[in-house]
Amino acid sequence: MGIDGLHPVLRPYLRSISLSEYTGKRVGCDASAWLHRGAVACAADLAQDNRWWIERGVHAPYVDFCLKMLDMLRANGVKPVVVFDGGALPAKLATHQQRRARRAEKLDKARTMLTEGNTAAASSAFCATIDVTCEMAHELMAALRRSGVDFVVAPYEADSQLAFLTQVPAGNGGIAAVITEDSDLVTYGCPYVIFKADRSGHGQQLALADLFGPPPSADQNATPGEGSSSGGCNNGTGKPASFRRFSLEMLQTVCVLAGCDFLPSVKGVGVKKALGLGHAPVQPGYMG
């Protein structure tokens, strides 16, 4: 859903883990997140349509990055399942148009910087223009077929498909956790979401059950949404925001109030203010 400000609020609940904790289990991997991370290494080339890897007959840097991450998982005994985005959601048409316009604007600025000889600034600016395309996804799919890695193309967005797979029994093709860079997966109800996975086999895990329990190093009697006025902390005291006794529906309501890819936020309401309202009873169909 693309909820601005959600990840910082969740950060205190993350736990550093070794991916070897999932040895023998199936873990879902967000293809777009990895392709985007891998494309950073060739952002300027993509922006200028310089696909030198085709002439050299080698994997594109973004494909190579994904394959190395998959090698890491398999070396740790994890069975990866890569999930790709499918069709575009009509409900997000306006959001996609806005993002395209922003990328085009940033591309013009990056090209101007390059023309002016400001190479360092241009390189950084090109990273903001990265767009994971169908062509990039197809390149990775071809490499996965050759490598024997399972993958799924979602009907629409990968997020909801990954969340669905966490609810499927392991014996029927389900997954134990999701590796992504997108905090939206938490709002879809994934029990375990792993961020910042690296090639050394480590990552930052959020367990949904922990999120809805007592906040780390905070008063065990905290109430839902209590003291979330500043950066996910309680009134500037440095304590994590509390989601204690939240339900998934309450978390989703907070995120809808704060704004997501499907609709803008309520005027003047971000995640921090929405959290302050989170203690209010949630009635079916009630939005204030």
The amino acid occupying position 212 is F
pLDDT of residue 192: 98
The pLDDT averaged over each successive group of 10 residues in the chain (288 residues) is: 80 97 98 97 94 97 98 98 93 79 89 89 91 97 98 96 97 97 93 98 97 73 39 53 88 84 73 72 51
* pTM of the predicted model over 0.75: yes
Q: Are 42 and 126 in contact (CB under 8 A)?
A: no
What residue ranges in 104-207 does DSSP mark as E strands?
Answer: 150-153, 177-179, 192-195, 202-207
DSSP 209-263: HHHTSPPTTS-TT--TTTT--BTTBSTTSSPBPP-TT--HHHHHHHHHHH-BTTB
pLDDT of residue 270: 77
Determine the Cα–Cα distance for residues 125 and 114; give it in Å rounded to an integer.
Answer: 10
The amino acid occupying position 60 is A
The full set of domains in the chain, from first to last, is: 14-211 (3.40.50.1010), 212-288 (no CATH)
Residue 76 φ/ψ, nearest 5 degrees: -95, 10
